[in-house]
Structure 1
Amino acid sequence: MLSPFAVAAEGMSPSANADIAQSNRDLRQQAAALTGANATAKELQRALAMLEKAQRSLTEAGQGVASPWLHLESYNNLLPLAALYSRIGRKEQALAALDQARLVLWYPGALKMLRDDTSFDAIRKEPRFQAMLDASATPERIWRGPASTQPYKVTLTVEERIAGLTQFWAEARHSFVYFDKVPHLEWDKVYMEYLPKVMAAQSTRDYYAVLRQLAPLLKDGHTNIWAPGELNGEFESVPPVRMALVEGRVLVAFVDDAALRQRVHVGDELLAIDGVPVHDYAKQRVYPLVSAGAPQDRDFQTYSVGLLRGRAVDTVQLRLRAADGKERDETLARNAGYQWPEAPQFKMLDNGVAYIRIDHFTDDSGLKAVEAALPRIMRASALVIDMRRNGGGNGAIGLEIMSYLTRKPITGAVSYVRGADAYLRASTGNLVSLQPLAGSAYVVQRAQVYEGPVALLTGPQTYSAGEDFVVSFNAMQRGLTLGEATGGSTGQAINFPLPGGGMARVCAKRDVFPDGREFVGIGVVPQIEVKQTVAGLRGGRDPVLERALVEVRKR
């Protein structure tokens, strides 16, 4: 039996202690194979010896305390140890193992296992066993926000509205890792300024109209507040068109409605919205709602994502100028919602160049597309990977894809979190400690690895785990990057509910290049910068891909 925390702890083992961590994993797996319901006394004793050896390897080296992640490894050992001690009648040792585990971690995921596993029946009524249950339940009790479980209703009480503001403010104060990037933001004053605003909100809709302005003050793409789904029609509806900022002009980039394409054309220039000049409209009505640090991310979220958002019941009037210079007004209904990323696309281009576009890592469809196309990729003269619309997801998928491009260990960003602030503040005064999360390189041996020329296309929409992919690609010096700077936002966010069914997140992990250079709030700049042009968009051309094909053919 393995503890429910094992996967998370093992995934974060520092490279310097990788051998100890791997040895512990191996011993636990071997022990688990011997401890089934029909295990003999001899098998249980063998499993016990393995787990004791694993735990001893941590304590003897003194690493159980010195390394945070090996400290967590001890938790993974102690729970199955307690279960085995209980099964063979060594109650005191079982309870002692739980006492030790309680000093390492309070983990809600252990609750169900502790309650349901019959291995603990011999000690289930002991007060120390109940103390372990209580400790495991504690995180949900102390981290759950006040009124955060209150479902949607038309009007929240003033206490509930204040609770939501307080929760977001407190979560950011405790865990946000980029306060240094907003040096003029007085977070305590922000709270006091927003307090009367949320108290005055007459409805849940009005409350979230105020609250949505709070997260953008922190200028981070992984720190956000979202209104409840019941209010999507108030805030998130858009017409079926997508705009793009090209050479300082706002152009129609895509029309997702066959009938509307007869009236609104790709390349039309947007001059005004509801009678307000488009750039003034963006600054006044959209910028305040955008959570972004890098200028290119702010522009993308403003002009391509948020510009036409609004209430579903309201039409939006656009002043358009066609390519021939003629101006006209178009009134559009907001009848569409968020457009999910498209499926991966693979094709062979001229001169045997393979092309694959991967728009997300939210599932393994991109990995499956690469693996399905691998026979053709292996014969290709060059490979172009288009990540310009990859908004992220699970970074592990990106690493698996990368493993088909190199036989070398794959390294990525170096990460930091805020450390033991409470103890350090108590002992030395106010400070914030940034502690590194050391990680091992990703290594997997593939039977086939593509070793030909590779070009990676990037842009402001290359985000989060998509951006992590670019950082690793650059660190490996695997190929050429072309296009525009990435969105400049990645990390690990703490997600939590707000009163009335809203959601929020606060970025708690800080990432930098392996050499210490920062890219969050800046973006990863490509080796060759190529941007779309007005003429290119209107002519249906892709200057970035065109340049990539020229470059890979040179190689």
Structure 2
Amino acid sequence: MKPKLSALLMLLALAAPLAVADVAVPPPDASTATIYKYLRTLRSEAQGLSGPAAATRGDLQSAAQKYQKLLDYLATPQVAEHATGYLPLYAEHVNLLLPLAGTYARLGMKEEALSALERVQGMLWAAPFVPQLDAPTYDALRDEPRFKAVRRTMALPDRLYKAAAIATPYKPVLTVEEKVAGLSLFWAEARSGFVHFDHVPDLNWDQVYMDYLAKVIAAPTTRDYYRIMMQLAPLLQDGHTNIYPPDELEGELYARPPLRTTLVEGKVLVERVGNPALQARLRVGEEIVAIDGEPALQYGRQHIEPFVSASTPQDRALRTYSYELLMGDVSKPVALRVRAADGTERTEMVERTGSYQAPERFVFKTLPGDIAYISIDHFESDESVKAFEKAIPEILKAKGLVIDVRRNGGGSSYFGLRILSWLSRQPVISAASYRRDDDAASRARGGVIIRWVPAGFGDEAYRAQHKDVFDGPVAVLTGAQTFSAAEDFAVAFKLMKRGVIVGEATGGSTGQPLFFGLPGGGNARICVKRDVYPDGSLFVGKGVMPDVEVRRTVAALRSGADPVLDRAVAELRKP
């Protein structure tokens, strides 16, 4: 999953002054990059003049002339053509108009300042600009009706999309209006922004809305309402599209024992016991044959799977039989019928309470044969990068490297790219990202077309310069739990052609989710960014496939063996 700022606002955030250098006016046949560099460099000169609070009137006048000169240059046919296909260049209009308006305001040129702000308003409405308009720079305009109108318009996106009237706080019983509003909001956001309707081509989304209206209206409590809504999102079959109940209901719906289960060779097994007290009763590798009197597989299908949002069979199985299988009411112990390795059976009553000691998230070690191994269990922060870079001195000396992302649930793709940059001096290319472009004006003209347009800046390669990089053989370990940004990592590694992926297919879901609140304190998310391989082939809905498939076995789990790692090491040792 990529960072959450919008593309244009990210570009505007990058609008800090550059180091000033002499740059000639680009020739008519100049590249887009050359034109962009020219504009940013000269804008930096103008910002250097207008930026200081103590700038003289002469400095402000010079800055205004420079800003206007660059805007005139942007308007020339040659540059305007480049700007239509390159978002950073297009964003320079705003990057120039905003400081120009502030400069005019400080010069007492109210008409010119207001006209510049109205030009910005004509290009975009952006709530993050409101604090800028509240700065002392615009004090001279504060009481002007046109200025107030611009400020109100800039704040419109928040009023339109943050749904404060619908995202009401928790209460045990919702009104009919709240229940219908929550359903309507989720349905409408999915209809306009969801990017994977092709994964459910036979789903009639309008009919789903009509079917669920009666269901949500009849829900007597907030808990019942969310039990219904939580079965709505799975119909879209996407791992980044979910409905979550209020935190106040977490103890009734999401409490679970301090242990983790897994589905291996058609059996539900104990994978980890994360509590010393429970370790005396349950052992890794024992089979759970029944839950509350029902066969374990049947229990998962009937009570868990209808609430699971997943993009692939492997992700659905993981969520059903690992993440969510034993979730329930904290006040109700779960009865587990357990079969030991010797075939004997017993029943264990397990409380859905107790602390869970998770495995270490970053592990580095050197395996026999000078093979460096590192597990990276998340990309939620730069902790992952720091752990890898801490091990770099040892990695650089190794004869091979294993990067284990089998338990990496994702975070920000940026951190994965930073790690991969240590494996090559070439730019790291990642998946291609797209968003929907099916506007109402086209529909009004009779053209119901969903067009895919790039969601990035045009060049998605990540570049980093390191004095030394690891150039030995590399293996990446993946599995169904490899998800979201970790899949972006696997995609980029595959595109680098730096080594072999060993294990099982990844979860098959990445992208950018749009989050929004729902009535009663719940919330939802919908995937609004579509990621594919650069050649257009799909991995969302399938998973990133390993080069060498190695599946876990019951025997390996019980013995503590790791056949995936063993095979990866064997691959690295090949000539």
Into which bin does the TM-score normalised by the smaller protein fall? over 0.9
Q: Is the Cα–Cα contact under 8 Å of residues 455 and 529 in structure 2 kept in the other structure?
A: no
Give runs of aligned pairs for residues 134-533 of structure 1, distance below 5 A: 134-145=152-163, 147-335=165-353, 342-438=360-456, 439-440=458-459, 441-533=461-553
The one of 91, 95, 98 equivalent to 2:110 is 91
Please give the alpha-carbon distance, in whole angstroms, between the structure 2 residues aligned to 1:25 and 1:428. Answer: 41
Q: Relative to structure 1, is the Cα distance of residues 370 and 52 closer, same or farther in structure 2, using a 3 angstrom cutoff?
A: farther
Q: Distance in 2 between matches of 1:89 and 1:49?
A: 15
TM-score, structure 1 as length reference? 0.94
1:104 counterpart residue number: 123
Q: Which residue of the other structure, out of 53, 56, 59, is the alignment partner of 2:75? A: 59
Per-residue deviation, residues 357-379 of structure 1 (Å, max 9, x unmatched): 11111110010011111111111
Over the residues paired in the alignment, what is the CA RMSD in angstroms? 2.2
Post-superposition offset of 1:180: 1.5
Counterpart-to-counterpart distance in 1, 2:40 and 2:237: 40
Residues 108 and 137 in structure 1, CA contact (< 8 A), matched pair in contact too:
yes
Question: 1:346-392: per-residue Cα shift (whole Å, max 9, x none)?
Answer: 12221211111111111100100111111111111111111111111
Q: CA deviation at 1:48?
A: 3.5
CA contact (8 A) 1:197 1:210 kept: yes
What SS does the aligned partner of 2:422 have?
Answer: coil
Task: State the one-letter code of the partner of 1:232.
Answer: E
Between the aligned partners of 1:143 and 1:457, the Cα distance in structure 2 is: 40
Deviates more, 1:337-346 or 1:238-247: 337-346
The answer to whether the Cα contact below 8 Å between 1:147 and 1:160 also exists between their aligned partners in 2 is no
Cα deviation code 1:307-357 (max 9, x no counterpart): 111111111111111100111111111115898784322122212111111
Q: CA deviation at 1:9?
A: 2.6
CA contact (8 A) 1:146 1:163 kept: no
Distance 1:352 1:53 in 2: 61
The one of 81, 93, 106 equivalent to 1:74 is: 93
> Percent identity, aligned pairs only?
50
Q: 1:237 & 1:18 partners in 2: Cα distance?
A: 54
CA contact (8 A) 2:388 2:419 kept: yes
Query: In the alignment, is the contact (CA less than 8 A) between 2:330 and 2:353 conserved in 1?
Result: yes
Q: Write the distance in 1 (CA, Å) between the matches of 2:469 and 2:66.
A: 38
Q: Within 2, Cα distance between the matches of 1:349 and 1:10?
A: 47
Q: Which amino acid letter does the alignment assign opposite residue 101 of structure 2?
A: A
- Secondary structure in 2 matching 1:196: helix
Look up the SS of the partner of 2:482 in the other structure: coil
Match of 2:573 in 1: 553
Task: Please give the alpha-carbon distance, in whole angstroms, between the structure 2 residues aligned to 1:468 and 1:162.
Answer: 37
Distance 2:141 2:417 in 1: 44
CA contact (8 A) 2:438 2:449 kept: no
Q: How far, CA to CA, are the matches of 2:62 and 2:367 in structure 1? A: 59
Q: Structure 1 pair 370/54, CA: closer, same or farther in 2 (3 Å)?
A: farther
Could you say if the C-alpha distance between residues 22 and 507 of structure 1 is closer, same or farther in structure 2, counting changes exceeding 3 Å?
A: farther
Task: Give the 3 Å change call, closer, same or farther, for CA 464–381 of structure 1 in structure 2.
Answer: same
C-alpha contact 2:429 2:492 (8 A) present in aligned 1: yes
Partner of 2:23: none
SS class of match (1:389): coil
Q: SS at 2:338's partner residue?
A: strand
Q: 1:513 to 1:154 in 2, by over 3 A?
A: same
CA change 1:321–1:184 in 2 (3 A) is: same
CA distance in 2, matches of 1:143, 1:338: 38
CA contact (8 A) 2:8 2:87 kept: no
Matched, 1:534 2:554: yes
Instruction: State the distance in 2 between where 1:310 and 1:195 align.
Output: 26
**5+ unaligned residues in a row in structure 2: which ranges?**
1-5, 16-30
The number of equivalent residue pairs is 549
